[in-house]
Amino acid sequence: MFRKILIANRGEIAARVIKTARRMGIATVAVYSDADRHALHVRMADEAVAIGPAPAAQSYLVAEKIIEACRQTGADAVHPGYGFLSEREAFAEALAKAGITFIGPNLKAIAAMGDKIESKKLAKAAGVSTVPGFVGEISDEAHAKKIAAEIGFPVMVKASAGGGGKGLRIVQRESELAQAILSSRNEALASFGDARLLVEKFVSEPRHIEIQLIGDKHGNAIHLGERECSIQRRHQKVIEEAPSPFLDEKTREAMGAQAVALAKTVGYDSAGTVEFIVDGQKNFYFLEMNTRLQVEHPVTELITGLDLVELMIRSAAGEKLPLTQKDVKRNGWAIEARVYAEDPYRGFLPSTGRLSRYRPPPEGVDGGITVRNDTGVFEGGEISVYYDPMIAKLSTHAATRLEAIDAMAWALDRFELSGIAHNLQFLTAIMHNARFREGRLTTGFIAEEYPDGFRGAPLTGEDTRSFIAAAVAAKLLRTQRAGRITGAFNGGHHPADNFTVTLNGKNHAVTDAHLEVGSLYLVIDDAVLEGVVDWFPGRTALRLTVQGEDRLFQITREEGGYCLAQGGRERLVTVRAPVIARLADMMPAKPPPDTSRKLVCPMPGLVVALPVTEGQQVKMGEVLAVIEAMKMENVLVAERDVTISKLHAQKGGSLARDDIIMEFT
């Protein structure tokens, strides 16, 4: 067994590998860029080595720096995590030449399956069903147009190396192809150091289902079941689960057998994943093989009881698999939700900044429910513009799918996060979505369920009453605390109060509101509500119990009221004395600033392209700027015909959110 492992990665996956290595008694080495000097994985490891500037291309993607860190620390093996160098054949080969073990598949397997073009050729030759397309690298835009014309739009332009949605674009028409190729190439080069692309047919109404594999160096390979990964946005997985609610046992067995056969063809000897696209008739087609650990591996671990990182380490050390296919048992259901630093109310644009509060729900097993949180951040840490925006992977496990979903909704409501924009309420809304709960999933789920973007889950009448009650309870408790200050007026008895509460632009009359020792009584629009409140001013979570039903609200004080979030809904609730509310209604409305003649930056990022000049006339739909943030390119296009009057930004410049990029006439 290895004495010391270096993790050639960062964030939650580095922390994840360190946990298993520590349990196995193996020392660990972290590497870090300038931006990650104080990161969690650096704190957790036994040793840490600086490897360069913040951009990944100058640090985490430089194989020579990783190998030099191994020499400095005496590490005898490297775990690459996912992304970065994890699927780079040249990296594994360089490690081998340096006498360092790569904790991943052998070179032949990486070469054959780690490249989308080569793996598709191999799969096709082996008789595996594949998606129609050109099996090879596209040479230029004209070549791509020819392929697309042959197979028909829509098509996918995708990076040959890597995965995770980086370097992938769906193209609906020929006019979009040039920009798709440019952005895919740029993302692929920045993320994987490999700009090669391929084009294949986009299958409509697909499900994304993948098979987890594990092999050893003795010719053994088995699968650990499937994962349903259809809930995606911009080809980036958001929710994953195991098993799939769609597959029957016959299809599951066929997909598993095909994946294992493909793995054995190349002598696969580590953890890997065969990804399939599955249509509504359960026909499945090979997409690609990821020759690494997947981001969503926790759901497989939860339903099998196996540690995939440990199996990878033992396989790399030459040990045989400790189980056969018949030993793999599926237990219950697991759900994973990816918590991202992004703003779902602003088109899911990435967010950066400091985590002023980071309090995930408690981990562990309680009443047959397991909660697990894989993370690479901590309270007070910073979310950088240079890397993936994932904050944490929250997973739950239960006996049934609906129990796992309900456990996830419960856990998300208890996740305290502030300082940056995040997608917690979006994830919670999905857990309450009827279509999701029924298992009617496709990769178009998010676009179909939220065609106009996410605005929060709707409020029912009962939800409205609960939000009002929570805000009034918070108001009463703050008033009571102020009244207990020494010498304050009315420090003892607290009479009932009347308020006007504004929610969703509508005023509600609240009368006879009083709260004593946690017991709440109030009348909302002539309807009595009684409940129990557990909260103290300063806390970020307020628990309200009405008729035996618990609701946990994330609560932030705002001017005149509170911002409350619960169950996928986030609302500002204003609580005022009736006379103050009447006066407020008389105040003139302040219109938002006019930005119709300006292009403002929607997120912090780097200007990678600015293909316009001052005085240029631009037609609707033409590209104005391309902004890179967190390894993804965001193309900003003209929403109408305009003339550029002034440029405020330049290519290569850094921009903050809402910085002016250009002005129009």
Q: Tell whether the model's pLDDT for residue 96 goes beyond 90.
A: yes
* Per-residue model confidence (pLDDT) at position 408: 98
Burial label, 205 (beta-carbon count in 10 A; 0-12, 13-18, 19+) = exposed
Torsion angle, CA of 394/399/400/401, rounded to 10 degrees?
A: 10
Cβ(37)–Cβ(413) below 8 Å: no
Residue 492: what pLDDT?
A: 46
The DSSP call for residue 130 is B
Mean pLDDT score, 252-271: 94
Average pLDDT over residues 301-315: 98
Name which of 78-82, 269-273, 593-597 the model is least confident about: 593-597
State the average pLDDT for the chain: 92
Tell which wins on pLDDT, 604 or 573.
573
pLDDT of residue 331: 97
% of the chain at pLDDT higher than 70: 97
Note if the bond before 154 is cis, omega within 30 degrees.
Answer: yes
Which residue in 250, 240, 256, 267 sits closest to 105, CA to CA? 267
Q: What is the mean pLDDT of residues 524-543?
A: 94
- How far is it, in rounded angstroms, from Cα 64 to Cα 218? 30
d(CA 563, CA 467): 10
Contact 224, 322 (CB under 8 A): no
Element (H, E) at 123: helix 116-125
Instruction: Report residue 121 as tokens.
Output: 């050729």
Token duo for residue 95: 């490690």
Q: Which of 359-368, 488-497, 526-535, 604-613 is predicted least confidently? A: 488-497
> How far is residue 3 from each of residues 22, 24, 79, 201, measured CA to CA in Å?
11, 10, 13, 47
pLDDT at 301 over 60: yes
The strand order across the sheet containing 390-398 reads 284-290, 271-278, 207-215, 221-233, 236-242, 333-340, 390-398, 369-375, 364-366
pLDDT confidence of residue 30? 98
Q: Which of 344, 373, 370, 346 is nearest to 359 (CA)?
A: 373
Distance CA 617, CA 637 (A): 13
Beta bridge partners of 632: 629
Q: Model confidence over 16-68: pLDDT tens digits?
A: 999 999 999 999 999 999 999 999 999 999 999 999 999 999 999 999 999 99
Q: What is the pLDDT of residue 131?
A: 78
The pLDDT value recorded for residue 493 is 45
So what's the pLDDT on residue 134? 73
Q: Which residues contact 638 (CB under 8 A, 6 or more apart)?
A: 618, 619, 620, 621, 622, 624
Range in 184-193, 247-256, 293-302, 534-543 the model is least confident about = 184-193
pLDDT in tens, 62-75: 999 999 999 999 99
Cα–Cα dist 198/184, whole Å: 10
Q: What is the mean pLDDT of residues 339-349?
A: 91
Q: Which residues contact 179 (CB under 8 A, 6 or more apart)?
A: 623, 635
Residue 253 is a catalytic residue: no
**Residue 527: other Cβ atoms inside 10 A:** 9
pLDDT of residue 126: 74
CB 386 within 8 A of CB 56: yes
Residue 243 pLDDT class (50, 70, 90 cuts): very high
Looking at the chain, how many residues does it have?
665
Q: Which domains does the chain have, with CATH numbers?
A: 4-103 (3.40.50.20), 132-201 (3.30.1490.20), 461-586 (3.30.700.30), 598-664 (2.40.50.100)
Please report the pLDDT score of residue 201 as a whole number.
82
300-317 mean pLDDT? 98
| Displacement of CA 579 from its chain's centroid (Å) | 46
DSSP track, 439-485: T---TTHHHHH-TT----PPP-HHHHHHHHHHHHHHHHHHHHHHHTS
Q: Are 562 and 579 in contact (CB under 8 A)?
A: no
Q: How far apart are CA 165 and CA 159, in angstroms?
A: 9
pLDDT at residue 116 in the model: 73
Mean of the pLDDT values across residues 253-279? 93
Rounded to an integer, the average pLDDT of 452-479 is 93
Encode pLDDT of 284-298 as tens digits.
999 889 999 999 999
Check whether 354 has a pLDDT greater than 90.
yes
Look at residue 494 and tell me whether its pLDDT is greater than 60.
no
Q: Any bridge partners for residue 628, and if so which? A: 606, 633
pLDDT bin (cut points 50, 70, 90) of residue 491 is very low
Cα-based distances in Å from 23 to 157, 306, 309, 537, 652: 42, 14, 11, 40, 45
- With a cut of 70, say whether residue 333 has pLDDT above it: yes
Of 459, 455, 430, 229, the C-alpha closest to 344 is 455
User: What is the model's pLDDT at position 500?
Assistant: 96
CB 227 within 8 A of CB 242: yes
Side chain identity at 337, as an amino acid letter?
A: A
CA distance 431 to 409: 6
Extract the tokens encoding 17: 């590998």
Catalytic residue among 87, 241, 288, 296: 288
Q: What is the pLDDT of residue 489?
A: 56
Residue 245: φ, ψ to 5°? -75, -5
Give the pLDDT score at 90.
Answer: 94
> Would you say residue 443 has pLDDT above 50?
yes
Helix (H) or strand (E) holding 73: helix 63-73
Specify the pTM.
Answer: 0.84
Per residue in 121-179, pLDDT tens?
888 877 778 877 776 788 888 999 999 988 888 898 988 876 667 888 989 999 999 99
β partners of residue 417: 358
Dihedral of the CA atoms 143, 146, 148, 152 (nearest 10)? -170
Reading the block at residue 248, the tokens are 């029957």
Q: What percent of the chain has pLDDT over 90?
A: 72
Give the model's pLDDT for residue 135. Answer: 67
Long-range contacts of 530-539 (CB under 8 A, 24+ apart): 531/469, 533/470, 533/473, 533/477, 535/473, 535/474, 535/477, 536/477, 537/474, 537/477, 537/478, 537/481
pLDDT in tens, 599-658: 999 888 889 999 999 999 999 989 999 998 877 788 999 999 999 999 999 999 989 888
In angstroms, the CA 589 to CA 62 distance is 55
